[in-house]
Amino acid sequence: MDINVKVKSNLGVRAFYLFFIISSLQLGVGIMGAPRIIFMEARQDSWISIIIATIYIIIVIFVMYLILKQYENADIFGIQVDIFGTWLGKMLGTVYIIYFAATLLSVLITYTEVVKIFIFPELSPFVMGLLLILLITYSVLGGLRIIIGISFLFFLLTHWLLFLLIEPALEIDITHFQPAFQASFTELLKGAKATNYTFIGFEILFFVYPFIENKEKVKLPVFLAVFWTGLLVLITTVIAIGFYSPDQLERREWSVLNLFKVQSFSFIERLDYVVVAEWMMVITPNMILLMWGVTYGMKRLYKVPQKTTLYIVSFFLLVGCTFIDQHFQIQKVINGVAQFGFWIAYVYPFLLLPLILLKKRRRKRRGDENSA
């Protein structure tokens, strides 16, 4: 297995598109219920926890950039094989693939549950899962550049939803944030950790980095993407805390979606129906990027054709969507992905970087000895 990835000239993408790749992966189903989860840990100081989480992610991404910069054109799969050897490196690479597949499953079953709660209570999970998986499969077959194009287009087509939060924002009760700065540092950190499912997705940088043509400009779009995602989570959380009473917020699992019910127009009665349907455009780039990550990983590690992996994983996802349809089951999957993602995305890069620098130093010493 080659450490560095040889990318064909027609598969390269500009660093500019990393903004849409990262933000599309982070903005999915997590933000729909994030305010309640963060509020239960940090109460009215939840906004501080979000700022802490965003700053920490920016630091993590800087560490990821330092890791990738040590190689000519490597991804996480090649790096791990170089550092840990073929067997252990491939095993750790498989962990990433399983993590991406589990995250994709969590998005599928969560969105299916939201559709059942808000629009079609009798909807078959099999039918909904089949429709989404067909959409994912068709998109991934187009290749990475098509996927990035979808992410770019859907990003532009979905952000009008923010304007629908103006009315609840105008009804914020400022006393809900008083007294301020009451949460302890431990509670603030717990609140920051509670955002991990919402913010995961930036680790896709480890996968797409070899395809970036102008690597010297990688940092800015990635940092802006994380900043934008953090800002949106901050805005929705502040509106939710200010609009709902503490008891109301704790009872509303999909607190952000419930905010859209406040907005009303003379020509439409239930705007939340439109929002839930529109949210499919929010999660579609999320799902196809995750599926591409799974197929790409299998091709890199085990030489399995991406189409073969795509069809096999799609089948198992459909089975998962069909049988994991109870709320407690869905919550278990989400919690498992959140815990898994915490260690892979937020902790692992800090463990990997010293090992890479140490190996690089040893190689340099050997090179000096041989030249002497």
Structure token pair of residue 365: 């010493």
DSSP reduced 3-state for 288:
helix
Q: Are 34 and 193 in contact (CB under 8 A)?
A: no
Q: What is the pLDDT of residue 264?
A: 75
| pLDDT the model gives residue 179 | 87
Q: What are the structure tokens assigned to 160, written together?
A: 């009008």
Q: What is the pLDDT of residue 28?
A: 87
Distance CA 68, CA 87 (A): 21
- pLDDT, residue 369, reads 65
Q: What average pLDDT does range 337-347 have in this prediction?
A: 94
State pLDDT tens for residues 161-185: 999 899 999 999 999 998 889 999 9
Q: Could you read off the pLDDT of 22-50 as tens digits, one per residue?
A: 999 998 899 999 999 999 999 999 999 99
Confidence of residue 344 (pLDDT cuts 50, 70, 90): very high
Q: Please tell me the predicted confidence (pLDDT) of residue 362.
A: 86
**Mean per-residue pLDDT of the chain:** 92
Which of 39, 31, 28 minimizes the C-alpha distance to 243? 39
pLDDT in tens, 115-151: 999 888 999 999 999 999 999 999 999 999 999 999 9
Q: Is the pLDDT confidence value at 370 over 70? A: no
**pLDDT of 270 strictly over 80:** no
Alpha-carbon span 285 to 145, nearest angstrom: 12
pLDDT at 292 over 90: yes
Q: How confident is the model at residue 11 (pLDDT cuts 50, 70, 90)?
A: confident
Tell me how far apart the alpha carbons of residues 97 and 304 are, in angstroms, rounded to a whole number. 13
Give the pLDDT mean for 290-298. Answer: 96
Closest CA to 299 of 13, 100, 141, 97: 97
Domain boundaries 9-371, corresponding CATH code? 1.20.1740.10
pLDDT at residue 372 is higher than 60 = no
Instruction: Say if residue 168 is preceded by a cis peptide, omega within 30 of 0.
Output: no
Lowest mean pLDDT of 33-37, 89-93, 359-363, name the range: 359-363
pTM: 0.94
Q: For the chain, which residues make up each domain, given as ranges?
A: 9-371
Per-residue pLDDT for 361 more than 90? Answer: no
Task: Give the type of residue at 70.
Answer: Q
Structure-token pair, residue 238: 């502040």
What are the structure tokens assigned to 226, written together? 């994380």
Given a contact cutoff of 8 angstroms between Cβ atoms, the answer to whether 94 and 304 are in contact is no
Position 268 pLDDT exceeds 80: no
Residue 368 pLDDT grade (very low, low, confident, very high; cuts 50, 70, 90):
low
Mean pLDDT calculated for residue range 5-12: 86
3-state secondary structure of 268: strand
Tokens of 325: 């349809």
